[in-house]
A and B are shown apart, each in its own frame.
Chain A
Amino acid sequence: MEELGLKDALSTITSGAIIEAIAVVVMASLLIMAIQKLVPMLAQKLSGKPRLYLLASVPLFRLVIIVLTVVMVVPILVEPSFENMLAIFGALGLALGFAFKDYANSLIAGIVTLYEMPYRPGDWIEINGQYGEVRAIGTRAAEIVTLDDTVIVIPHGLLWNNLLANSNDGTDNLMCVAELYLEPNHDVARMRELFRDVIYTCPLTKIYQPVVVAVTGTDIGMKYRLKAYPLTPGDQTRFIADLTARAGEVCAAEDVKMISRPLLLQ
């Protein structure tokens, strides 16, 4: 550390400067907390794109505040000469590299997240088998809320070597798939047409997005996949349930039997 000149750089720090620096950091922290609390609250009152944009602005605001805080605090503590800066950031790099490797990894990944935006607040993502809506993007980790209302904290560092699936990618268009297995030997064309009607007549369907009824023959029966977009990504559970129920009604009316789970397991 001494080789880096850190001791010289820190020797000029006075107690007054420390108090001033702490005050700036506290104020910045309070501002970040306020933004993290208020902006999502306001976003909940909006719908569509304004909601997504507002949510996505939270991490950006936080990054700007953090950068500004660093820019303000460093000159308060040390004289901002080239040697001092080299000493401080060199020491910081060493400390992060050895002691807080994973933490630093996630911090850097967090910054990359803000730049590359693989996920934003409001996105529905799946990573390591966990699926949910991104509610907050912190400095080190993102918080997602699953369909079962469980909060999962995902360190940004996972981004480096894991596959990430983003279902809506910053938009409010999220494709849902309702799957059905039907007994074979029925009029497939008619069933496809009826299932298409089911999708279009569901009040939760975003009808200006593509609607597809796919069918494949499997060992256990005909597998139908009803693909469509719900009005909002948050409607996905209700939407799939509604499509499944309506499709079930059609099957009953047409006397085409759905294959039940016990049969599937045989």
Chain B
Amino acid sequence: MATETDSEHACLPGGLIPLDQWSTPDISVHKSLRAGFKDILEQLRSGLTPESEAFESLDDLPSLPANKLKRYAPEPDASVLASAILKELGALSQQGLHNRQVSFIVAPPFSGVSEALLTLPARVIEAPDNLLMSEQEADHWWDEQLGEDDWVLPELASFWLRHRSGLQLLKSFFARIAQDSAGRGIVACSSWCWQFWIRYWPEIHVGPLTLAPLDSERLTGWLDFLARGGNGRSMTARMTNDGYYVLPPKTDESKEKYSCFAQDLANAARGNRGVAHAIWQRALRAKPEEDAEQDDDGTSKTAECWVVPFDQLSLPGVPQGSGQQAGIVLHAIMLHSSLTLDSLERVTGIAPVELKLLLSRFLRAELVVQDENTRAYRPTPLGYPAVRKYLQARGFSVDGF
């Protein structure tokens, strides 16, 4: 389905695809078993060894300085992604694969779609302060918001609360876009929010699209695209242990040996670009002795930066023994993308004192961060894989990504 124009849309490899076509990058049985076994061991080990929850690098190589990190692994440009999304939507419309007034993009956390939509020249619909509304109030609110002009809704997850009075706004919204009576707009919806609502209301029919998953090939292409930045210069990244290459992307003409780091990264991030990028940033290293090796043709083989092996990166973990409240709080944060303390209390029914204790543990473990302006807690890309695995193991509904 995806128009394979990766060279045109290097910032959106694989393009936009229908939601039901998304699949996780292929992972070998050996690696799945090893990951499962490691996960069980970690659960068993908890309590026996001191907690090491936050991100930890197990190598002693110096991290990249901030300026080099910005050069080699810069944050993706939201406006470029926005243009690529518009182009993709246009292409899908031309092919007759997308013919709705409202484009509905379901994206996993940290995909950057919300930030991208904010850069578009369209009216931004922001969530009201009070999300607890009656049916009539919700209808009235949307009547005011959904006009004739173009609009974007950067994060649908912030328009509801998992509370019996906090569902009306989205019920009314879904009814409108299902009937195509909401004007022209683009909606970004967190995959966790979508997962809840598709269970709650299986009849929702909004033609959701999503970003294609980043397998190792697309991921290296995307990381290379980011590193090239404005100057178009390719970056060389090699493994610290065996010198195998990670970047530039492998081509048919490549004679160098390539590491399986990109595949491990794509698997660990489950094709999620934001998570992969965050881990990539933490994996880059400067090497103290920059002894230039010379190739036969006289060109330098020294890498511009080095990459630590995946097994030397210890990603944040969910504090064990936190009880079920921990899962309830983390799940609530994931469902709504971010929540203030008040909203968390309303959604979970947990007392503020207990919430503060739990949140302080999550903050220390780098699983969540608190927004300085809104004071809302939101998940971190590095902690996300652990949080997802933790919730899934405890029976919580997790997203399909």
Contacts and interface: CB of A to CB of B under 8 A. Distances in A.
Interface in A188-207: 194, 197-198, 200-201, 203-204, 206-207
A47 B348 contact: no
Contacts of A242: 349
A204 B397 CA distance: 10
Contacts of B46: 45
Contacts of A208: 199, 397
Interface in B323-352: 324, 327-328, 331-332, 347-349
B357 interface: no
Contacts, number: 63
Interface residues of A, number: 24
Contact of A203 (B44, B166, B167, B332): B332
Contact of A231 (B162, B348, B395): B395
Contacts of A249: 164
Contacts of B394: 47-48, 231-232
Contacts of B44: 42, 45-46
Interface string B385-401: 00000000111110000
B367 to A, nearest CB: 17
Contacts of B167: 197, 200-201
A162 B46 CA distance: 42
Nearest to A200: B200
A172 interface: yes
Contacts of B397: 206-208
A24 interface: no
Interface in B12-47: 40, 43-44, 46-47
Contacts of B142: none
Contacts of B324: 231-232, 235
Contact of A201 (B163, B199, B327, B328): B163
Interface string A201-221: 101101110000000000000
Q: Which of B40, B164, B332 has the most CB of A within 10 A?
A: B164
Interface in B192-233: 196, 199-200
A52 to B, nearest CB: 12
Interface string A136-171: 000000000000000000000000000000000000
A45 B332 contact: no
A206 B394 CA distance: 10
A46 B390 CA distance: 11
B199 A207 contact: yes
B395 A48 contact: yes
Nearest to B329: A203
Contacts of B331: 203
Nearest to B350: A203
A122 to B, nearest CB: 13
A260 B341 CA distance: 36
Given A203-B347, A231-B394, 9 more contacts: A46-B40, A47-B43, A50-B43, A200-B200, A201-B164, A201-B167, A203-B331, A231-B395, A246-B164
Interface of B: 40, 43-44, 46-47, 162-164, 166-167, 196, 199-200, 320, 324, 327-328, 331-332, 347-349, 393-397
25 contacts: A45-B43, A45-B44, A45-B47, A46-B40, A47-B43, A48-B393, A48-B395, A200-B200, A201-B163, A203-B162, A203-B328, A203-B331, A203-B347, A203-B349, A204-B328, A206-B395, A206-B396, A206-B397, A207-B196, A208-B199, A208-B397, A231-B395, A231-B396, A242-B349, A246-B164
